[in-house]
Amino acid sequence: MYRSHNCGELRETHIDENVTLSGWVHKTRDKGFVIWVDIRDRYGITQLVFDEDRSSSELLDRARNLGREFVIQVKGSVIERASKNPNIPTGNIEVLVSELIVLNESKTPPFTIENETDGGEDLRMKYRYLDIRRNPVKNNLIFRSKVAMEVRKFLSDQEFIEVETPYLIKSTPEGARDFVVPSRMNEGQFYALPQSPQTFKQLLMVGGMDKYFQIVKCFRDEDLRADRQPEFTQIDCEMAFVEQEDILDVFEGLTKHLLKEIKGVEIDKFPRITFDEAMAKYGNDKPDIRFGMEFGELNDVAQHKDFNVFNSAELVVGIAIPGGNSFTRKEIDKLTDWVKRPQVGALGMVYCRCNEDGSFKSSVDKFYDQDDLAKWAEATGAKPGDLICVLSGDKNKVRAQLSALRMEMAERLGLRNPDEFAPLWVVDFPLLELDEETGHYHAMHHPFTSPKPGQLELLDTDPGAVRANAYDLVLNGNEIGGGSIRIHDKETQSIMFKHLGFTPEEAKAQFGFLMDAFQYGAPPHGGIAFGLDRLVSILGGQETIRDFIAFPKNNSGRDVMIDAPAPIDDEQLKELNLRIDIKA
């Protein structure tokens, strides 16, 4: 037996007990006549003591030679500490060691195993197994495990069945790029790794499985933006005999359960807004509503004067930055530069100071009088002491620009409190989205999403106006889940495929099995999928999903620890009937 207790367990109640501990040498302090060693494991740190009076000189010598991260086992008795450490749970005791066994030595680790380490990202990833010994990473992984378990408990209690769907499936050109897997037994053919279990969960509904979930890895071979992983985890859910309301109810319940169990936060009914409202109020379909700064549309109160910039704009829209009147002119100029950066892309910014005395001072005073500006203040909800920032131009672009400014200011003003949780549902998404490059419409959610009742006809005349039974769950400015009520009849699905540019043959080749299934009594159904990586990082109050993944890949899709991907044997290629064909 390697240990009687773990390193986070001993308290004053254990004093005088003989114990055995195992763990890593975290730190050694050598005062000559006495040596303290901190032994560490997953559960905590316990102080070991060796001294001239009570330890043999041989034992003292061996303690002296322990290096950082050596793995040791000690036997000894628990004693009261002379100088207690109130900062750690074991701080009232120490273990007077009678026996010391070195289980394994360690080279000096390439970075310190501390909460704040001296190791950079690259080094930490190469030695991820050492990084995981650090509390922040270790705790994130434990936290993730706990969240997943709570999800499973909640859904199982509601009679959801976790069904494993296959990983070796079929490639579909639609959507993102698939990872493919050559089949040795079926020459020249390939499996694909799932981007999601979408079609399988719908087939489970056709199969009567009724309430399905799965916590499952999904794969996308996309050029990786920061904080995207080629493999990621979804909480994938589907229900039959449901309307949108039923789904929102159940998964609002799940989210409340997580917030309560994991964070101790109780939230009443989640607000709901439509996609159109979200775009108008926040310029964003995943608004962060922990703070205000809602958009005020100013067309009516800013297009009646001779200011051509506004008059020629599709939309004039502003936000009130709380306390922003305290910004210096220089600071405001910098803000203007910020919105003009190519990443944001505004052409300029108009501002209006709201003075404490109720008067206004704007950058366009020669066009607008105090009455005009008072109306701006009213529309943006600005109070004395605030600064109104106004952008104008093409509606979609200017909303995105102002949304960027809103988020940036919230960040700067410390309004994005990671311990505060503000979920909301965004509903009534458009069914289709125009690809500006190709001029074609494609499915905003996916091709299985049903249009709102009675809107199917609009597909021919005004496809962009068709609204879908689609919804997102947004938490603190992040989409943590999204789903829809699906199409469940072959005819509607055929119409959808046609509008998405599939020939009947293409639709049959790729989704024939689903269309067939719809002919054998498919029930009304719908579902939702949560991004687990994102969900745990937000619940954990952090921004980077990589910190919540045990062995993440870097932005080139490489695992730098195991050095993958890597070349394979010619023999393997030959068995797969493949040749590598790299163009110069």
Q: Which element (helix H / strand E) includes 483?
A: strand 478-485
Neighbours of 438 (CB within 10 A): 9
Nearer to its own copies, 299 or 554 (CB): 554
Q: Is 356 in the site for its own copies (CB under 8 A)?
A: no
User: For 61-88, b where at least 16 C-beta lie within 10 A, e where not — what string?
Assistant: ebbeebeebbbbbbbbbbeebeeeeeee
Question: Residue 20: helix, strand or coil by DSSP?
Answer: strand
Q: Is 223 in the site for its own copies (CB under 8 A)?
A: yes
Contact with its own copies (CB under 8 A) among 5, 10, 14, 24: 24
Q: Is 81 in the site for its own copies (CB under 8 A)?
A: no
Q: Which stretch binds its own copies (CB under 8 A): 88-96, 104-112, 287-295, 299-307?
A: 104-112
Q: How far is the CB of 540 from its own copies (least distance, A)?
A: 15
Neighbours of 12 (CB within 10 A): 12
Question: Residue 438: helix, strand or coil by DSSP?
Answer: coil
Residue span 32-51 as binding mask against its own copies, x where in contact by CB under 8 A, dash where not: --------xxx---------
Q: Is 127 in the site for its own copies (CB under 8 A)?
A: yes
Q: How far is the CB of 553 from its own copies (least distance, A)?
A: 7
Q: Is 517 in the site for its own copies (CB under 8 A)?
A: yes
Nearer to its own copies, 168 or 465 (CB): 168
Distance CA 363, CA 431 (A): 41
Contact with its own copies (CB under 8 A) among 132, 262, 434, 500: 132
Strands 93-104 and 44-51: parallel
Nearer to its own copies, 268 or 569 (CB): 569
Query: Two tokens at 496?
Result: 């959808």
Question: Residue 195: helix, strand or coil by DSSP?
Answer: coil
Query: Two tokens at 452?
Result: 């709102």
With beta carbons less than 8 A apart as the criterion, state whether 258 and 150 touch.
yes
Q: How far is CA 455 from CA 107, 272, 450, 491, in A?
A: 67, 22, 10, 15
Question: Residue 572: helix, strand or coil by DSSP?
Answer: helix
Q: Which stretch binds its own copies (CB under 8 A): 306-314, 327-335, 455-463, 558-566?
A: 558-566
Nearer to its own copies, 10 or 193 (CB): 193
With CA atoms as reference, report the closest residue to 285 among 489, 471, 536, 85. Answer: 471
**Please, which of residues 134-193 interact with its own copies by CB under 8 A?**
138, 141-142, 144-145, 148-149, 152, 156, 161-171, 173, 177-193
Q: Is 564 in the site for its own copies (CB under 8 A)?
A: yes
**Please, which of residues 415-474 interact with its own copies by CB under 8 A?**
none
**Please, which of residues 304-323 interact with its own copies by CB under 8 A?**
none
Nearer to its own copies, 49 or 242 (CB): 242
Q: Which stretch binds its own copies (CB under 8 A): 63-71, 252-260, 416-424, 460-468?
A: 63-71
Distance CA 531, CA 479 (A): 8
Q: Is 101 in the site for its own copies (CB under 8 A)?
A: no
Q: Residue 424's beta-bridge partner residues? A: 474
Query: Two tokens at 313?
Result: 């704009």
Helix axes 135-157, 244-263, angle to 10 degrees: 140
Binding footprint of its own copies, residue count (CB under 8 A): 122
**Please, which of residues 471-500 interact with its own copies by CB under 8 A?**
488-489
Query: Two tokens at 113?
Result: 């195993």
Q: Is 199 in the site for its own copies (CB under 8 A)?
A: yes
Q: How far is the CB of 477 from its own copies (least distance, A)?
A: 25
